[in-house]
Structure 1
Amino acid sequence: MLILGIETSCDETAAAVVRSGREILSDVVASQIAVHSPYGGVVPELASRKHVEAILPVIREALDRAGCCAGDLDAVAVTQGPGLVGALLVGLSAAKGLAYALDKPLLAVNHLEGHMEAAFLDKERPEEPFICLVVSGGHTSLYLVTPDGSSRCVGSTRDDAAGEAYDKVAKLLGLGYPGGVIIDRLARRGNPAAFDFPRSRLEKGSLDFSFSGIKTAVAYFVKRYGPPVPEGKGETPYRLEDLAASFQEAVVDVLVEKTLEAAERYRVRHVATAGGVAANSRLRERLEEECAYRRLQLHVPSIRHCTDNAVMIAAAAYRLWLREGFTPDPLDLDAVSRML
């Protein structure tokens, strides 16, 4: 079964052709980092306009790389939500038009289920329940996932997502965008125990997250000691690398602790992580260490498939279609900016 996946939930325009949910025939992503970098974050209106410009060329390239034409497709899959509503509508409109013109089934996909599928693009999914940490700029949630792919949210962020905290701290420090990549790179040369930033664990037994407090703590730190000074331009009473490492360690501590607590509570033997922050080197390192110690099997996506892509949308659509009995979605479905 040949599925064209389309993803436009935020700031990447992506299309991919995947056979039977496993075989990747093409994987095309047009990034908007250069567009949003001057603003330190994604500007929704600019994102929507860039999607309009890129969507058809990206789909055409995905078909060309896959060596097929639109008529060879068995279905068209697209992200319905969550995400920026204007951005979502661009992908939905393109997918609806293709499905209608080709008389092919339209398959609407939850973006978060797509991320959960990304951890198993190059390996077999476990035949038992597992806990999945979905962590990105817009989402930080824990899911209990069944072998057929259906999921239940057991914990989510109450304010900032982890990736959002990374971007806001990077902007505060004048480091640029995307902040997660820059802070991760700096942190590798820093001391994670240099500064004791707060870890928000909320009430006892909660699997929810909160990262607004650490963002505020970094802001107060900079207010007290001053902004970082470029190398060779002066001195500050702290190393930027130590600040980055200490901030990152506080975020990772909470992510790992809550994930392992969920695994213990639901008595699962498999743990997965997905989303843009799943590419973070310290998060991957800590999860590997802690899961090995507890004899849990860890599943992580390739670095390329941590960030938004259309391969995961096509793969999730295939699994959804199997689970729901091959029922296509109506052509009048709408974008949904918030979904669990």
Structure 2
Amino acid sequence: MTSVDAARPAALSWRIPVLGIGLAALLLCVVLSLALGARSVPVPAVVEALLGQGQGRDAMVVTGMRWPRTVVGLVVGAVLGLAGAVVQGVTRNPLAAPTTLGINAGAGFAVVIAIFTLGLTQPVQYLGFAFAGAAAAAAFALALGRRSGDLDPVRLVLGGTVLQLVLISWTSSILLFSERTLDEARFWLAGSISERGFDILVPMLPTIVVGTLLALMLAPALNALALGDEAATALGLPVARIRFVGMVAVVLLAGSAVAVAGPIFFIGLAAPHLVRLVLGGDHRLLLPGVLIAGPLLLLGADILGRLIAPPSEVEVGIITSFLGAPLLVILARRRATR
């Protein structure tokens, strides 16, 4: 056994308990999500409601309103965190996120167009339009990012950023033109898991499952890409194909998340960085780690949004944007000083 092989179990020996601590923190966050809000529910009553033994209004609040909302938060947070880790690995850009591919802006533009032209009024009606808009925007960003038949990470990020700005301006123009569309779309555009239930989540599960499997299978390849394209090619890896599959996974994951909850920013950027600080850059640990960190961040922001202005709520997308902006500045400054 070589010294490297011997070092791997030692390195994993402390990282696995860290994942366990993360799971415990996520479980606590789930309990708080079920218990806290405009109407606080004691933890014993939460447990009774989940076991089917509770009765009365507390049980109805837990099982009928907060449990679906919490499950949606878990799935959307995990999906956004995973999409962020993959897009950062594929582009080798620590500031990349699903938003840099225009996914959020594409989904928002498609939903606003659908509301404006078809008069849609329910979030469940937005699903197909949101996912299609996200996929179309990402496909266009990928086309802009190709050079000589290969995917150029720098061109991809720049092209996606420009596309996002264009789509946001078009969306704003429509909202200024139509007050009815603004009234219908502004709640969805804020990004929220409030009033999101299984009727919205279940239709997107096939794309979420496929995207998750693709992302997790790419972990060893993403480690090789981190060494550079030449090193990955020398190892016999098809770099262009890996990037394409990674982008497909990102579109499936982020497009599904946006379709379910609307545009929620910074989870895909922050979760991978937080996990790297603790577990390092090995994608075999990073990708499982973001499946914990993503929902932990999202549910934490959702709980904060319920508590800061009772009995009203601040949408989770607003909270993540408010907290994520300073993080983006810090990351950009750290990157610039290297």
Whether TM exceeds 0.5 here: the answer is no
Point out the structure with the larger strand share.
1
Which protein has greater RCO, CA pairs closer than 8 Å, 6+ apart?
A: 2
Point out the structure with the larger helix share.
2
Task: With the length of structure 1 as denominator, give the TM-score of the two structures.
Answer: 0.28
